[in-house]
Amino acid sequence: MRLLERMRKEWFMIGIVLAIAGAKLEPSIGVNGGPLKPEITVSYIAVATIFFNSGLSLKTEELTSALVHIKLHLFIQIFTLAFFPATIWLFLQLLSITPINEWLLKGLQTVGCMPPPVSSAVILTKAVGGNEAAAIFNSAFGSFLGIVVTPLLLLLFLGSSSSVPFTSIFSQLFMTVVVPLIIGQIVRRYIKDWLERKKPPFGAVSSCVLLTIIYTTFCDTFSNPNIDLDKFSLLLVLFIIFSIQLSFMLLTFLFSTRNNSGFTPADTVAIIFCSTHKSLTLVAQLNCDKKLCIKHKEYNFLVDLGFCRVERPHT
C-alpha cells in the first residue's frame, strides 16, 4: 500500500520516465508528421490548453497584481537573458580545452541564449504552489523578448549571424498564450461559482499535457539518424547540464530568499523555474561565416519579410 501511495504521489515523475521510454521504443509515433501530428497538437493545441487552463484557474486580481511586480520581472529576465548566457560562455571557455565535442559545447551555448520556457515553467510553478500568474507573465514576455534578444546573444557569443521567423513566432505565441489566457479569464467569469465548488484538477491536466510535450520532444530526438557523437562527450555534457541546472536553481533560491529581497515564497518558486529553464521555441537559423565574425564587431539588426535577423556586415 505504501508503494502504491508513493507512486500515486510521484505519478508525474513516473510519467516522465514512461514518456521517455515510450519515445525510445517507438519514436515514429510522436515525430513531426507522425500519427500524433505534434506540429499541430503540441505546438498549438497543447500550449493553448495549458494557458486556457491557467486562465480558468487564476483569479483576475492575481494576474493584475503579477503584472505590476516589476522587480520580479526584472530579476527573471536579466538572469535568464543576460547572466545565464554570459556565465555559460565563461564556463565553456574552460571546457573548450577539453576533448568534449565542439558542437555539443556550441549547442549548450545556444540553449543558454534561449528565453524562458513557454509552458513547463508555468506548470511546474503551479504544481508546487508558486506564483503562477508571475510565471505566466514572464514565460510569455520572455518568449516575445527572445525573438529579438536571442539572435543578438547568438551573434555575441557564437559569432554567428542568426535569424528567427519573427512574424510566425510572434503570431504563434500570441494565439497559443495570450488569446487562450484571455478566453479562460472570460469563461471563468461565467462559471466562477462552479469552479470554486467543484475545484477541477487544473494542475493534473496541465501536467498531463506537459508529459505529451516531453514525449514528442524525445521522439524527435530518438528518431534523428544523424546523431553521431562519442558517448564520453555526450555523458559528460549531460552531467554538466545537470550540474549547471542545480547550481543556477540554488543561486536563484539564495538571491530571492535573502533578507529584504521583497519576494514571497511563491515568488521564489516562479523565479527558480522561470530563470533557470530554457525554451527551444525560437529555432535559430545559424549562418556562420568565420571571416565575417572575426573582422567586424558592428551589428546589423534587420526585420525583413517576417524574419528577425542579426548579423555583422561585410565591408
Q: Cell digits for 53?
A: 487552463
Q: Which residue has the cell 515564497?
A: 265
Q: Determine the number of helices (DSSP H) and then strands (DSSP E) in the chain.
A: 16, 4
pTM for this model (two decimals)? 0.78
Query: What is the length of the chain?
Result: 315
Contact partners, residue 48, CB within 8 Å, separation at least 6: 175, 176, 177, 179, 180
pLDDT of residue 284: 33
DSSP per-residue string spanning 132-181: HHHHHHHHHHHHHHHHHHHHHHHHHHH--EEEE-HHHHHHHHIIIIIHHH
Contact partners, residue 161, CB within 8 Å, separation at least 6: 155, 286, 287, 288, 289, 292, 309, 310, 311, 312
pLDDT of residue 286: 36
pLDDT of residue 235: 81
pLDDT means per 10 residues, the chain with 315 residues, are 78 89 89 86 87 88 86 93 93 85 82 82 86 91 84 79 68 88 92 86 85 87 68 79 90 91 91 85 39 34 42 49
List the alpha helices (DSSP H) in 79-127.
84-95, 102-112, 120-127
pLDDT of residue 66: 83
Phi then psi dihedrals of residue 162, to 5 deg: -145, 155
Which residue type sits at 313?
P
